[in-house]
A and B are shown apart, each in its own frame.
Chain A
């Protein structure tokens, strides 16, 4: 019914076509809506930002930039960065490595795949390192290993607890054996931190794999993971092809790993700061504690 309304026979109107100003044309700026990898819904970017980088619909934890993480976790204004200007070189002369480094620096606005520094959580001083998956998938080369080792040594020297947030595809292949060496170096530094009776907490975020899993990520006194994080050494597809078997559901997901005793607890991002704060408080050295 009423289909003729305003649809009287039309008479062509001849209009001079105006040159449309291309800059002024309405358009949706890139990145305004972000597609959630888990629920496939599209979400307004500010809604994700306000929600600590978590999908408001399905609780999927988006990867977080290192600086946002530091902002969420530390007391405001307490952050002091260590080894800020340390940069990678191309020790093997690997083709296109320099270009990749430049691109990663440009995207992440930082010099390497990890930020280390000192800060406070609810007034408790600590050393913190946060990996950033936007920088060449958080891969560990000499500089990442060196920055982490120095942070560990700083914590040992100043008798401070240490928290590392991991997010990595593993050792950086462009630096070959130098990258693999970082596994031993960081582990050795952690052993000395441990010998001094100091607390080390790791927070595994999506994804934590390869050489990072095989070294400092799994050495925490307390190992925390974010929900749904992929944690493993080799990826599931590689394993399936090697052992020629189908893997169980949820394999290498943090929930699966907790069930099998690899991870101590899964903590949602919103509760992470409070959880870390109470863990630090419980492990504060008291006067009269005997060093073992």
Chain B
């Protein structure tokens, strides 16, 4: 087992990892930027090393400084957390050549999964369902018609070198296809200098369902159930829960087996997440794999009783997983709300500044993951997430009651936050029923904002 671990991250995840290490009797080394001198992870770790200026590229992304800090402090392993260097092939490779254990999968796996086209190909080979589509560039309108007929309408035409919605066309029926195909190609040519396009089935009102995977370095892979992360705004998740509403045990087993297949196909080790997109008829398709611990990992911890960070460290130290698939059981229900320093009234504009007047909810079955404290100054250079509140109940309704209660108790003064927005969101009829999709927040934003009136 490691004697000392360096945590190459900041904020609540750094605190989360330091706590796990402390419980395991492992010494911790925090790294911090000049903007984070007063950060909680710096105060909590056994030692803290400043690694550069406030901008991420000068500190939390500065590989040379982080490696030097690890060598200098005698750390044998680095936990990258999420974001920053957590899915950086080069960093994982550098750790390897310095004989420092990177707590995560091998560099080669990160590389394979980072390449979306390659990951898709591997999943097809492994028999994992992917969003039906053209498997490459569509050359002509006739070819497009054949493919669309094959996978069924509606379909989405996408530019191969595209992004940001350009060169994208939604087609509902064959009569529209010809025009959409040529205009998508023309737009793509204009925007990216490349007119190659591909076709994918368009999933209406999709849900984002992801499976937690744990794999040791001895070939054992276990899934720990799913999380529903459909409540998101511009691909930023806001609320996550486990288990996902309306998923039967049978469906969970099927999806879980596909998730295990996907992980085995790349010889995966350590913690990972297989993301699926799911349509209204419970058809699901692989979209990508995240090769790191995720923000929303606590909901899985609550319903499985497994400490994922400790498992990650044990796996990295070469130990076998402490449980088999049959040992795992989903019990109860957990809901997590992300509290961010941002103002929903002004398009979720991020906010920095000093916190004054902080009240953190507590009580039975409320878990708080945060790195803020009273009088802490939120720097403007980093992510705006301040806190995660996780409520755990015997069933979804209890968890819902708990999260509503906790949000009502939470007060963060001095800066803008999305607490009120989250409070309104967990009170919507749709959330209560578990009837939502990834477009819900953006589509219903106005009605959520006005769903409650202030009475003084």
A contact set with B: CB distance below 8 Å:
1-3, 5-6, 24-29, 32-33, 42, 44, 46
Contact = CB atoms under 8 A, between A and B. Distances in A.
A5 B374 CA distance: 14
A46 B90 contact: yes
B71 A28 contact: yes
5 contacts: A5-B44, A6-B22, A27-B71, A32-B94, A44-B64
Contacts of A44: 63-64, 90, 94
A24 B99 CA distance: 7
Contact of B98 (A1, A2, A29, A42): A29
A6 B44 contact: yes
Given A28-B67, A29-B97, A2 B43 contact: yes
Given A1-B373, A26-B76, A29-B98, A42 B64 contact: yes
Given A1-B373, A44-B63, A26 B99 contact: yes
Interface in B82-136: 90, 93-94, 97-100
Contact of B40 (A2, A32, A33): A2
A76 B245 CA distance: 57
Contacts of B93: 46
A33 B64 contact: yes
Given A24-B99, A26-B70, A26-B75, 14 more contacts: A1-B375, A2-B40, A2-B43, A2-B373, A5-B44, A6-B44, A27-B99, A28-B68, A28-B98, A32-B94, A32-B98, A44-B63, A44-B64, A46-B90
A5 B373 CA distance: 12
Contact of A26 (B44, B100, B373, B376): B100
Q: Give the contact-size bracket for chain B.
A: 20 to 34
A26 B70 CA distance: 8
A51 B76 CA distance: 31
Contacts of B70: 26
Majority SS at the chain A contact face? loop
A94 to B, nearest CB: 41
A182 B40 CA distance: 70
Q: Which 4 A-B pairs have the closest CB atoms?
A: A26-B100, A26-B99, A5-B43, A6-B44
A25 B68 CA distance: 14
Interface of B: 22, 38, 40, 43-44, 46, 63-64, 67-68, 70-71, 74-76, 90, 93-94, 97-100, 373-376
B43 A27 contact: no
Nearest to B65: A42
Contacts of A32: 94, 97-98
B6 to A, nearest CB: 10
A26 B38 CA distance: 29
A46 to B, nearest CB: 7
Nearest to B28: A6
Nearest to B73: A26
Given A2-B40, A44-B63, A25 B99 contact: yes
A6 B63 contact: no
Nearest to A28: B98
Contacts of A3: 43
Which residue, B22, B93, B99, has most C-beta atoms of chain A within 10 A?
B99
A28 B70 CA distance: 10
Contacts of A26: 70-71, 74-76, 98-100
Nearest to B44: A6
Contacts of B64: 33, 42, 44
A44 B94 CA distance: 9
B73 to A, nearest CB: 10
A190 to B, nearest CB: 44
A117 to B, nearest CB: 33
A213 B375 CA distance: 68
A55 to B, nearest CB: 15
B41 to A, nearest CB: 11
Contacts of B63: 44
A36 B375 CA distance: 43
Contacts of B71: 26-28
A6 B98 CA distance: 30
Contacts of B373: 1-2
Which residue, A2, A24, A25, A46, has most C-beta atoms of chain B within 10 A?
A2
Contacts of B98: 26-29, 32
Nearest to B67: A28
Contacts of A27: 71, 98-99
Contacts of A42: 64
Which residue, A6, A29, A32, A42, has most C-beta atoms of chain B within 10 A?
A6
A163 B90 CA distance: 36
Contact of B43 (A6, A25, A29): A6
Nearest to A7: B43
A176 to B, nearest CB: 45
A29 B97 CA distance: 7
B55 to A, nearest CB: 15
Contacts of A1: 38, 373-376
A25 to B, nearest CB: 7
A187 B43 CA distance: 71
A259 B44 CA distance: 61
Which residue, A3, A26, A28, A42, has most C-beta atoms of chain B within 10 A?
A26
Nearest to B91: A44
A27 B74 CA distance: 9
Which residue, B44, B64, B100, B373, has most C-beta atoms of chain A within 10 A?
B64
A109 B408 CA distance: 72
A42 B98 CA distance: 16
A70 to B, nearest CB: 27
A84 to B, nearest CB: 33
B45 to A, nearest CB: 8
A6 B40 CA distance: 11
A26 B64 CA distance: 14
A32 B71 CA distance: 14
Contacts of B90: 44, 46
Contacts of B375: 1
Contacts of A6: 22, 43-44, 46
A46 B90 CA distance: 9
A32 B96 CA distance: 12
A233 B93 CA distance: 44
Nearest to B376: A1
A28 to B, nearest CB: 5
A2 B355 CA distance: 14
A241 to B, nearest CB: 39
A5 B67 CA distance: 27
Nearest to B63: A44
A151 B50 CA distance: 57
A22 to B, nearest CB: 11
A2 B372 CA distance: 11
